[in-house]
């Protein structure tokens, strides 16, 4: 496995475990009500988390999520209590083409504030957008 791929998986592992830790501590539990574990035939229960990310990171993020989701199914180090973690990337409709893409940071933050999306992980292009989100 390439060093870059390992680094991407490490970032997702930290984010996923952080999200699970927040749940265990009861932080943001109102958003977790919709993230109940799902049962897929032939598989153990899966912990589902969602992520909205800026368009600037789309290439490496899609690779990292694909690698993480695949590894989590069989690698106990990437599971929580024996349950694989599945990351879903939330996308927005491009207003010009109608196709789906990763988010622009302003629309990502606005959609989160309006409650249009409730991602487990929000990853805009810069910390400035997190400050805006926290101030409103």
And the tokens for 35? Answer: 């993230």
Q: How many domains does the chain have?
A: 1
And the tokens for 101? Answer: 């893409």
Beta bridge partners of 1: none
- pLDDT recorded at residue 44: 61
- pLDDT recorded at residue 2: 60
**What is the residue-averaged pLDDT of the chain?**
78
Angle at 126 between CA 10 and CA 114, to 5 degrees: 100
Domain of 65? 3-135
- pLDDT recorded at residue 3: 56
pTM: 0.65
Whether residue 81 contacts residue 109, with contact meaning beta carbons closer than 8 Å, is answered with: no
In the predicted model, residues of the chain with pLDDT beneath 70 are 1-44
């Amino acid at each position: 496995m390439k060093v870059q791929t390992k680094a991407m998986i490490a970032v997702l592992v930290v984010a996923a475990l952080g999200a699970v830790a927040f749940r265990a501590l009861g932080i943001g539990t109102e958003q977790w009500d919709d993230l109940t574990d799902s049962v897929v035939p032939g598989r153990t229960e899966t912990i589902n988390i969602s992520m909205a990310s800026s368009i600037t990171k789309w290439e490496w993020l899609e690779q990292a999520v694909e690698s993480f989701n695949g590894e989590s199914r069989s690698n106990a180090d990437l599971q929580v209590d024996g349950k694989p973690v599945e990351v879903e990337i939330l996308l927005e409709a491009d207003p010009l083409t109608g196709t789906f893409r990763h988010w622009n940071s302003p629309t990502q933050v606005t959609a989160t504030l309006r409650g249009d999306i409730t991602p487990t992980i929000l990853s805009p292009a810069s910390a400035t957008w997190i400050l805006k989100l926290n101030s409103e």
